[in-house]
Every structure is written in C-alpha cells, then in structure tokens.
C-alpha cells in the first residue's frame, strides 16, 4: 500500500524554501561533485576551473552591480533571483559562488528580520516583485525566536559558570585545606583546578575594567549632599560652629 505525504508538511517545506529560495541551488554543486568522482570523464568548463570566489567577494560585486538590492539594509529577495543575476551579468558569477553567498545571506539574522516584517519581495532594481505571504513571514519569525531562545540560554549558562568560577576562587583564597582536599570538597579533579582559577581571575580583571552602567554609577557614585544630615536652617539666624545657634544678646535692664 502506498502512502502520500500530508498537505501541511508540503506547505511547510515550500514556505521554508520561499524564505530562503537560493538555498535550493546547492543541489547543483552537489551534482557537480558527484560527477567529478564518477569514472566517466567530465569536461571542465572555464568557470569551474577558476578559483572559488569567497562569499565576501561575491557580496561586494553584487553590491557594486545591483546597489538598489544588495547595498544597505537587506530586503526580501525575489524568487529565483539567481536566474535574474545570470541574465543581467552573464559570466560574472559562477552558480557555486552565488549559492554559497545566498546560503549565508538568506540565513542571516538581518535578512530573516526583513522577511518577518516585510510585505513584498524586491528585484535587482529594488522594485517590488511579488508579495510575501503570512506563511513565509512566520517561517522567518519562528527561526528568529529559536535563535533568540538559544542565545538567552547560552547567556544564562555563561553567567552561571562565571558566578561558579568566582565562588571557587573566593573559597580557594580563603581555605586552609590542601589542594587535594579542597578539590575533593568541591568535587573537582585536581588537574582542572588551575585552569578554572585562571579563568576566574581573568573574569575578575574583565569586570574591573568594564565601565559601570549608568544606573550602577548613580547608585554607587557620590551623592550631592547628605540626605539625613543637619538641615541648613537659618530661619532663626545663622548657626555657629557645628550647627549651634549663637548665644542671644543680653537685653539691657530697665
């Protein structure tokens, strides 16, 4: 009995390809590599014999040729934009170079943000070239959420490890135990202690050199004056040393 894939699964796959349309071109470079490994001879073309251009070099050339689309803030790309590039700039880019560049470009956070908030795709002249569907925006937004969640989890883990190292350094400097006994108390291998202490000292040095945040500077910095000190009350005349009022003059006797 044969079974067919469900429609929602097909739609999800199509939406992912639409968000990053250029990544489908990667299969062509895979076929070229497979042909090179076969026993049949392959005729080498001039383009394939050239050294592979880096994605950064491809980005610079695209920005120079098509600044309306590739210079400045990323814009959602027209579907099958590689075909348009090859037609407008024949022989300038290899398929492999464009595929490598667009895999990085369409997977970048800036591009995903543009897709998640955009309504239209754009051609090489920076002109609207098709609508972005809600499904395509959702695919990009889901990927951004996943990356944000992973980044937050990594930051929390780093902060916890940093705190643990600081505690370890403080306890080591205060302990009177021998190193083996200290490591046994902390559940650490003896050979790992020096490396952790070195990281803790580097963390402390980095914290000391880091400028204070504005709210921390306001909290820890000098105040304009004492809040609970004696008031400068001059309603009954100037006060003498240490806030004492001067003695009253004796009134002449009548």
**Cα-trace Rg, the chain:** 34
Query: Which domains, from first to last, does the chain contain?
Result: 13-33+46-132 (1.10.1710.10), 143-211 (1.10.10)
Residue 140 and residue 112: Cα distance in Å, rounded? 5
pLDDT at position 23 is 44
Residue 111 and residue 77: Cα distance in Å, rounded? 9
pLDDT at position 52 is 78
pLDDT at position 209 is 87
Residue 220 and residue 101: Cα distance in Å, rounded? 49
pLDDT at position 53 is 82
Residue 151 and residue 149: Cα distance in Å, rounded? 5
Work out the burial of residue 20: count CB atoms within 10 Å of its CB; fewer than 13 is exposed, 13-18 middle, 19 or more buried. buried
What is the CA angle 117-130-127, rounded to 5? 85
The per-residue DSSP string of 97-121 comes to HHHHHHHHHHTSHHHHHHHHH-SEE
According to DSSP, the residues that pair with 120 across neighbouring strands are 131
Q: What secondary structure letter does DSSP report for 131?
A: E
Place of tokens 């309603």: 235
Show pLDDT as tens, one digit a residue, over the chain (254 residues): 444 444 444 555 455 555 555 443 443 333 333 333 333 333 334 444 456 789 999 999 999 999 999 998 999 999 999 999 999 999 999 999 999 999 999 999 999 999 999 999 999 999 999 999 999 999 999 999 999 999 999 999 999 999 999 999 999 999 999 999 999 999 999 999 999 999 999 999 988 888 876 665 566 555 555 555 555 555 555 555 555 555 556 555 55
Question: Is 118 in contact with 76 (CB distance < 8 Å)?
Answer: yes
Residue 133 and residue 196: Cα distance in Å, rounded? 51
- Specify the pTM: 0.56
Residue 8 and residue 186: Cα distance in Å, rounded? 52
Question: Is 101 in contact with 20 (CB distance < 8 Å)?
Answer: no
CA distances to 156, 188, 221 from 195, in Å:
21, 11, 35
Question: Is 92 in contact with 61 (CB distance < 8 Å)?
Answer: yes
Question: Is 99 in contact with 26 (CB distance < 8 Å)?
Answer: yes
Cα 117 versus chain centre, distance: 18
């Amino acid at each position: 009995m044969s079974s067919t894939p469900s429609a929602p699964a097909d739609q999800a796959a199509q939406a992912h390809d639409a968000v990053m349309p250029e990544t489908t071109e990667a299969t062509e470079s895979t076929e070229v590599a497979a042909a090179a490994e076969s026993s049949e001879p392959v005729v080498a073309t001039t383009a394939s014999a050239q050294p592979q251009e880096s994605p950064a070099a491809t980005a610079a050339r695209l920005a120079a040729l098509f600044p309306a689309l590739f210079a400045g803030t990323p814009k959602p790309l027209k579907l099958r934009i590689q075909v348009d590039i090859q037609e407008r700039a024949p022989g300038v880019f290899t398929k492999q170079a464009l595929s490598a560049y667009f895999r990085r470009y369409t997977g970048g956070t800036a591009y995903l943000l543009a897709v998640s908030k955009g309504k239209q795709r754009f051609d090489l002249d920076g002109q609207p070239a098709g609508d972005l569907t809600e499904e395509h925006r959702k695919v990009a937004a889901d990927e951004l959420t996943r990356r944000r969640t992973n980044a937050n989890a990594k930051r929390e883990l780093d902060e916890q490890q940093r705190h643990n190292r600081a505690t370890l350094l403080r306890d080591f400097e205060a302990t009177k135990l021998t190193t083996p006994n200290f490591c046994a108390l902390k559940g650490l291998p003896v050979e790992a202690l020096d490396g952790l202490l070195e990281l803790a000292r580097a963390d402390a040095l980095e914290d000391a050199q880091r400028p204070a945040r504005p709210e921390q500077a306001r909290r820890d910095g000098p105040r304009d004056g004492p809040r609970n000190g004696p008031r400068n009350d001059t309603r009954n005349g100037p006060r003498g040393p240490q806030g004492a009022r001067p003695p009253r003059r004796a009134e002449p006797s009548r």
